Structure 1
Amino acid sequence: MRTILDRKFDLEISVIIRPDFRRQLKSGKYNLRLFVNIYRQQKKSYPVNIYVTRKEWDKLKSHSMFNTGNDKKETIIEIQAKANQIIRLLGDDFTFEEFERRMFGREVPKYDYTDVYATYAEKIAILRKESRISTAMMYQRSMESLMTIRQRLKFHHITVEFLKKYERHMLRKKCSFSTIGIQQRHLRAIVNIARFRGVVKEIDYPFGRSIHNKYQIPTAKTSKRPLEESELIEIINYQPTEDEAWGRDIWLFSFYCNGMNMVDIFNLKWGNIRNGFLYFIREKTKYTARHRTQIELFLVPQAMEIIGRWATPGRRKKDKFIFGVFDETMDAEVKADAARLAVRVVNESMRRIIRKLNINNRATTVVARHTWSTILMKNNVPVSYISKGLGHTSITTTEKYLGDFDQDQKREVGEIIANIGK
């Protein structure tokens, strides 16, 4: 039977004890260090508090080293054996932090807080732990983009001139201003972490308005526009092919339900529906908002019909997903992959439909959200209601004194949506 010591792992890790010949003590001796090296990745060394001269070391590293009788030899063998045993026990879960904890029985600093990429790695790990896989991937792409201009980066390197140089670098790579803005905002979030910790002083903070001699993140004017009501009616009345039906209906479900985000739709469970209303908390703000605001919306008949057509067959338990894009066996990363694929299906279906209808506009999942809010605004629905319906969490003066809307008002808004095309 294999024991845990026989555990197989893919990391190639070597352990060796040798003197640090770069630093000779006044006594003429050298401190032995334990070197741990991950093949083609990272390596670290630790002092073992054994001191030898060059002549002593030459004797110790000879074949006779494996004979007993020398205290230093035996200590070296014990230290190296312990290190190898810990590495085998950790297997693929090996990290230097855990190795150091088990080897030396002490906690070590997580990382160098002045290191930009280490701070990125911490942020990405937190996002993954919170199952925010898509956001983690965006930070990962941001970090990889930075690495194309500089492999090692400290926070004191991030100046106004550096940010301008990074922008010019992305422009040469044919990045749009929209992409540049996204990458720079993620970098700013990482710099803000260092700013909060005191690593970046206020006087050195590089982001701000250009008139204040700071780096101003570029913004791009979007060409996206909401659909006109006449265009929306065409989509509602369109008879989709078998390949288009699911995508069209999920897009319309988003429109009928306050422009609900696709991931929020895929996360809906039967327990979210109560007495003709739908209750949910936006995934986007679940971990970032100070207060988790539950959205309550009236389910119009068209939305209920879409649920009836596409709900997963079987018993309608409170903890079961409605639409079947997710299931209870999926972890966060599998869910993220499934969501990306499903959104692609919706967008591709809508692209084909608007092309057939000769609509000169895009109809992506985001456009459904914009269309919902714009149509309500044109029907004189208060902007404050629209803001709440969209689940916006920014704290404004208006939000501070606005009361909530009752169910009768939500039914009235639902009727406006339901009557489109009748």
Structure 2
Amino acid sequence: MLGVTTSIIHDKRIQKKDGTYSVKLRLTFNREQKYYPLNVSLTPEDWEKTQAQKPRGEYKDHQTFFNKVEQKALEIIREIDPFSFQIFEKKFNQKTDRSKDVFFYIETYMARLKAEGRVGTADSHKCSYNSFKNFLKSNNRKNLHFADVTSEWLQAYENWMKENGKSLTSTGIYLRNLRTIVNVAIEDGTLSKEFYPFGKRKYVVPAGRNIKKALTIRDIKKIIDYQPKTQPEEKAKDIWLFSYLCNGANMKDVALLKWKDIDSKRIVFVRAKTARTTKQDVKPIIVMLMPEIKAIIDKWGFKSNTPEDYIFKIIDKDDNPERALAKIRQFIKNVNGYMKRIGNELEFELNLTTYSARHSYATVLKRSGVATEFISESLGHKDLRTTENYLDSFEDDVKESYQRKLLNFD
């Protein structure tokens, strides 16, 4: 349609609280302009990077998405004669034939996660995406519509995962990701609530009872007393203990700690896992700055007078989300490697990992008589059931002492 022009613009008329501006499709016809939000907000610097001739990473994803949106708009405009904004809006906003395709929804959701910097979560959905694809391939199928996702289909997928030697934990993660996508489809109106396949009397996502991940307080003492053989091993040990002492902070949260998060008495931070996903009532994690924690910071922290600088410099301020995630994963791999050696030296049955530091924090407190409610708050959990999954059962000697009470006739 002649006389109608399109462009993807960075609308700087209204700035959001986080310093970003909305990206919109702009249509101009007969000197009248209308704007259509694309659910993407960028800083001026990020916008410029998407406009580069050869953008990389998330900026390339943005540019590809913007080009597809504009191409879709142009195709719709060619079909409208005479042109009207009302007809365009109806066609532009209507769902395509792929709207009921699960994989299309997962792809769209992954793109949104990457745009928000939630690269790790996007990777998790990519793993589930590939797993579902392989399951369909085993049944000589390619497409997966929401109508196909029944309790029977979900059970068949779970059985297939078991037959292929996949853990119940992985199965649960992938199916929880799928449940998220189904909920998004219901919110969009693509799927009716009455066809929701999860829940009681339908399909319940498996929650594997994990093997022991927590150490005893005696084991913790052995780690503290252990004499490292190299400086990298010493750093791995100290960072592991830092995580253990700081409410079981995971390595991403340790990597994201900044000097502004510390005062003379406390460390205060928001878990990266909840900072973006929980819109309201985000409770910070508060860690009292014990001398042992301060000693580790003094030993391995990079001194800076800039509050925004990262304490341990695991990542840099200039790293994009993909680069930061890669660095954190490599750091975790290094720490786990050295902690495995330490665990072997100390003859632990448990495989020492950064994850075991978090579980040990929770379980040692519980065995010391600390209320589960306090442990839940300190871990940043909103649900006590989540905390209970972290807590290992009592040790064998404790169980035996309790069982003997069954025959204690005195």
TM-score, structure 2 as length reference: 0.70
Shift of 1:102: 4.9
- Alignment match of 1:192 (pick from 149, 169, 183): 183
Per the TM alignment, residue 273 of structure 1 is displaced from its structure 2 partner at its CA by 0.4
Which residue in the other structure is 2:285 paired with?
Answer: 295
Structure 1 residue 368 and structure 2 residue 357: aligned?
yes
Query: Which residue in 2 is equivalent to 1:308?
Result: 298
Q: Which residue of 2 aligns with 1:383?
A: 372
Aligned to 1:155: 146
Contact 1:281 1:292 in 2 (8 A): yes
CA distance, structure 2, for counterparts of residue 176 and residue 249 of structure 1 = 31
| Partner residue in 2 for 1:134 | 120
Q: CA 1:90–1:238 in 2, change beyond 3 Å: closer, same or farther?
A: closer
* 1:83-104: CA deviation from partner (whole Å, max 9, x where unpaired): xxxxxx9997344322233565
Q: 1:201 matched to which residue of 2?
A: 192
Match of 2:401 in 1: none
Q: CA deviation at 1:378?
A: 2.7
Aligned-residue offset at 1:259: 0.7
Q: What amino acid maps onto 1:190 in structure 2?
A: I
Q: CA deviation at 1:236?
A: 0.5
Check whether the contact 2:269–2:284 (CA below 8 A) recurs between aligned residues. yes
Q: Is the 8 A contact 1:259 1:368 kept in 2?
A: yes
Residue in structure 2 matched with residue 96 of structure 1 by the alignment: 68
1:168 maps to which of 134, 139, 159: 159
Q: Note the 1:239-254 alignment, pairs <5 A.
A: 239-242=227-230, 243-254=232-243
Q: What is the deviation of 1:269?
A: 0.7
Q: CA RMSD in A?
A: 2.2
1:350 corresponds in structure 2 to 339
> Of 174, 179, 204, which residue of structure 2 is paired with 1:183?
174
Secondary structure (helix, strand or coil) at the match of 1:369 reads: helix
Contact 2:372 2:384 in 1 (8 A): no
Aligned partner of residue 374 in structure 2, secondary structure: helix
Which letter maps to 2:186? R
Question: d(CA) in 1 for partners of 2:212 and 2:267?
Answer: 28
One-letter amino acid of the structure 1 residue matched with residue 142 of structure 2: Q
Which of 1 and 2 has greater Rg?
1
Deviations 1:13-66 (A, max 9, x none): xxxxxxxxxxxxxxxxxxxxxxxxxxxxxxxxxxxxxxxxxxxxxxxxxxxxxx
- Provide the C-alpha distance between the structure 2 equivalents of 1:336 and 1:90, rounded to a whole number of angstroms: 22
- 8 A Cα contact 1:263 1:339, kept in partner: yes
Match of 2:105 among 111, 115, 119: 119
Deviation at 1:151, TM superposition (A): 2.2
Check the 8 A contact 2:213/2:359 in 1, yes or no. yes
1:40 matched residue in structure 2: none
Is the partner of 2:352 in helix, strand or coil? coil
Question: Which residue number corresponds to residue 226 of structure 2?
Answer: 238
Q: Which residue of 2 aligns with 1:11?
A: none
Matched, 1:272 2:261: yes
2:270 maps to which residue? Answer: 281
Aligned pair count? Answer: 304
Q: CA deviation at 1:287?
A: 1.6
Could you give the per-residue CA deviations for residues 325-384 of structure 1, whole angstroms, max 9, x where no partner exists? 111110001011011111111111111001001112122112111111222223333322
Distance in 2 (CA, whole Å) between partners of 1:225 and 1:217 is 22
Distance in 2, matches of 1:136 and 1:102, equals: 30
* 8 A Cα contact 1:224 1:362, kept in partner: no
d(CA) in 1 for partners of 2:158, 2:360: 33
CA distance in 1, matches of 2:309, 2:295: 19
SS in 2 for 1:225: coil
1-structure distance, mates of 2:229, 2:54: 53
Match of 2:100, SS? coil
Unaligned ranges ≥5, structure 2: 1-52, 78-87, 386-410
User: Could you tell me the percent identity over the aligned residues?
Assistant: 33
Instruction: Name the aligned partner's letter for residue 133 of structure 2.
Output: M
2:245 counterpart residue number: 256
Label 1:372 to 1:291 Cα distance change in 2 as closer, same or farther (>3 A). Answer: same
CA contact (8 A) 1:207 1:215 kept: yes
Task: Please give the secondary structure, in 2, of the residue aligned with 1:113.
Answer: helix
* Aligned-partner Cα distance in 2 for 1:226–1:192: 34
Please, which moves more after superposition, 350-359 or 219-228? 219-228
Do the aligned partners of 2:373 and 2:384 also contact (CA within 8 Å) in 1? Answer: no
Q: 2:203 aligns with which of 215, 221, 235?
A: 215
Q: CA deviation at 1:114?
A: 1.4
TM-fit CA distance, 1:200: 2.4
Which whole-Å deviations, capped at 9, do the CAs of 1:272-305 have from their partners, x for residues lacking one?
A: 0012210100000112223211122111111111
| CA distance in structure 2 between the partners assigned to 1:251 and 1:238 by the alignment | 13
- Seen in structure 2, the aligned counterparts of structure 1 residues 127 and 352 have a Cα distance that, compared at 3 Å, is same
SS at match of 2:323: helix
CA drift of 1:120 comes to: 0.7
